[in-house]
Chain A
């Protein structure tokens, strides 16, 4: 018998239908993958099972967990279930923990509440659980606070809380989306082991087809609140019977067409970074000793030729973004020089930087945060025109904005809208329009597609590739996602602990990594082809 059985579940918030006739089941010891793009109702399905829906939501249908009718259960019954028989892991480890409580307290809290055990007993179990998730008490005592842990470690604590009472069902809602690939692989391993150990059912929610394929026995594909296809993971993804499944799979493996590629060294370099170092003031240990600085970027040198597309890959916190900011002259380097078009830009004043700024633009990761919510698109996209010597007249400016919008596939009518009227993918297009309006020679893109759904991601990658071909813009792509690097870059730089540890042609580095850091990245990166092949092999 199934552990969790969802039959014909429909959900509406106010008058907006969210879920339509969703069917889903999880057996003990089984991993069920729930895949879909944002807004498809994945999280709402999870929240329905937990009965943590917003007030205005109305659910109909049947949800049975272990013989209990969830939709009819009282709040008291649900309180007894949540955290005891059903555990939940959330996406964002930074906000899922209470910052003013120690990790020991937070793990023990649920144990004490559900088992009515004494504080000492609960703490003992908490210690064992934290040890199990890879946070041994010798290194991570119970008295640590969340801010003393890294993102991956925090996610382990969240998992420890969810699994402390050996739940029958664990719901993991995008548990690794906020983590880099190496941490992602570790967390997924941990989840897999916990499932095997406790014969726990796992409902794994993700937008990443590759992750789900590696983990899940069965898969359910959701779109606009409806189940598109469901079944055995390997079969569903290898046969790709449903058009939407095919579309998703193709989008995840999409490689934009780039007939022209650029090799370095042919022309005079556009950007030259020589021995750049950046120190941040460290924490002061004593009143009388000087704080030892933290070195974020350590003696980095690189060069980019005009029109060349270079990826800077590395794990989170390796100094990629700091380096990018220094290249964009938004942050000062401690030592070293950065030359752009042959001119030194380190240590220049804002006025002296103006000509360089014209040829250098940026695209950020978060399409929601990178626009002032109170300005209209015309003004936002026109912002870089500020660096031109001759400010265009209003009519001319409108023309330029319209042209830039056209190049990224938006219409002139979009000029008078506010950013919130656009979807995430459209906003990233706006972001690119803003970056190319001054016809720059170099665009620095900091994780430009990691916040986007796979199909949108494919479109944006196509757009980047097209602009590179058409306008000859050089890119510096900062990413932890190797598929992105593989898709649109000529050269790859691997960064680890502030240093560049490996560099070379993209295909070479990704297929035959030499350094430890590159090997770890490549091994951890989820790959849909590989995952499907492995699944099929396992089944014979």
Chain B
């Protein structure tokens, strides 16, 4: 007899129960939800209008009127962070979408076909992977002009090989299983098998990778707008707020601290969320927590 320590089978309820006991998942989820809520709120309400410059109020330290202070044009930092969140999330989300949308089919196709096609696709992947992502994103935006759209495309392209690799590795582990053989014996082709059997079985893997890439996307967007290649003024973005704060660090440290905190907290939240999901769905970590 094998050592059948019965791993409790997964149901939606049991996963939920485990999620509620997982600290990093809960904290991550709370932070992510907060950031998302703030971004949505910014569409209907912000404390101040971020496009109105009030020079008389410039570089005020945090107060009751301006919780996070004001910048060198007298704009309210809290309002800018709220609007900036929406920009960060949009860029990262669409970039992850591009990465998944192209990368996953590519990886799954490579795994299904194998042989030369697999080899060629994955080597092309390696080629894209070999470029430092941010540097190449700068190159792309430099050629096609700065702006949120180009930033999205640039970050998205570099998400493709990541998802392609994860999808291929996951799919390769599923392909030799007997239920795939059974599906083939039932006359199903590789496309249908991929859709029906492979993708549902690697979905959790992709979900975890998705949250990690989402966090990296936010960092990348901040990096691009820091060098002036992201969203253009007057649209506020966290990266550019940091850039503006750089020369005024000594006079108005809050101009750097709060956008910086926004980036750190968001990325931390997403990483915790990803960790948490991975823990919850990983059968091996099930007994420890």
Contact = CB atoms under 8 A, between A and B. Distances in A.
A114 interface: no
A379 to B, nearest CB: 8
> Of residues B4, B5, B186, B200, which shows the largest number of chain A Cβ atoms within 10 Å of its Cβ?
B186
A467 to B, nearest CB: 18
Interface stretch (A269-277, A283-291, A360-368, A518-526): A360-368
A43 B186 CA distance: 38
B4 A372 contact: no
A480 to B, nearest CB: 18
Given A92-B2, A350-B187, A420-B9, A362 B201 contact: no
Contacts of B185: 328, 330, 357, 360-362, 384
Given A38-B1, A91-B2, A207-B1, A369 B179 contact: yes
> Of residues B1, B178, B181, B287, which shows the largest number of chain A Cβ atoms within 10 Å of its Cβ?
B1
Contacts of A173: 1
B64 interface: no
Given A353-B187, A384-B187, A39 B4 contact: yes
B186 A387 contact: yes
A42 interface: yes
B1 A362 contact: no
B273 to A, nearest CB: 23
Interface string B168-195: 0000000001110111111111001000
Given A205-B1, A372-B197, A364 B187 contact: no
Contacts of A47: 3
Contact of B178 (A13, A361, A366): A366
B186 A384 contact: yes
A374 B180 CA distance: 13
Contacts of B179: 369-372
Given A350-B189, A374-B201, A384-B187, A330 B178 contact: no
A353 B5 CA distance: 43
Interface residues of A, number: 43
B1 A174 contact: yes
B184 A387 contact: no
A354 B201 contact: no
A386 interface: yes
A369 B177 contact: yes
B200 A374 contact: yes
A42 B1 contact: yes
Interface in A366-404: 366, 369-375, 383-384, 386-387
A410 B95 CA distance: 48
B113 to A, nearest CB: 14
A54 interface: yes
A54 B287 CA distance: 10
Given A364-B182, A366-B178, A38 B187 contact: no
Interface in A410-448: 418, 420-421, 431, 434
A39 B201 CA distance: 28
Given A92-B2, A173-B1, A362-B182, A357 B187 contact: yes
A421 B11 CA distance: 11
A39 to B, nearest CB: 7
A434 B5 contact: no
A354 B182 CA distance: 14
A173 B1 CA distance: 7
B186 A383 contact: yes
Contacts of A357: 185-187
B14 to A, nearest CB: 12
Interface in A251-306: none
Nearest to A384: B186
Given A328-B185, A353-B187, A384-B186, A364 B178 contact: yes
Contacts of B188: 383, 386
Given A42-B1, A92-B2, A205-B1, A364 B186 contact: no
Nearest to B174: A372
B183 A383 contact: yes
A372 B193 CA distance: 11
B4 A38 contact: yes
A386 B4 contact: no
A53 B100 CA distance: 43
A365 B178 CA distance: 9
Nearest to A178: B2
A471 to B, nearest CB: 18
Given A205-B1, A369-B178, A386 B184 contact: no
A375 B174 CA distance: 14
B9 A421 contact: yes
Contacts of B201: 372-374
Nearest to B183: A383
B190 to A, nearest CB: 9
Contacts of B9: 418, 420-421
A370 B182 contact: yes
A354 B3 CA distance: 41
A330 B187 CA distance: 10
B181 A330 contact: yes
Given A91-B2, A174-B1, A357-B186, 16 more contacts: A13-B5, A207-B1, A361-B186, A369-B177, A369-B179, A370-B182, A371-B179, A371-B182, A372-B196, A372-B201, A374-B200, A383-B183, A383-B186, A384-B187, A386-B186, A386-B187
6 contacts: A38-B4, A91-B1, A174-B2, A366-B178, A371-B179, A386-B188
Task: For the complex of A and B, list the 10 residue pairs with the smallest distance between their C-beta atoms, beginning with the closest.
Answer: A387-B187, A384-B186, A370-B178, A357-B187, A369-B178, A420-B9, A383-B186, A362-B185, A374-B200, A364-B178
Interface of B: 1-5, 9, 177-179, 181-189, 192, 196-197, 200-201, 287
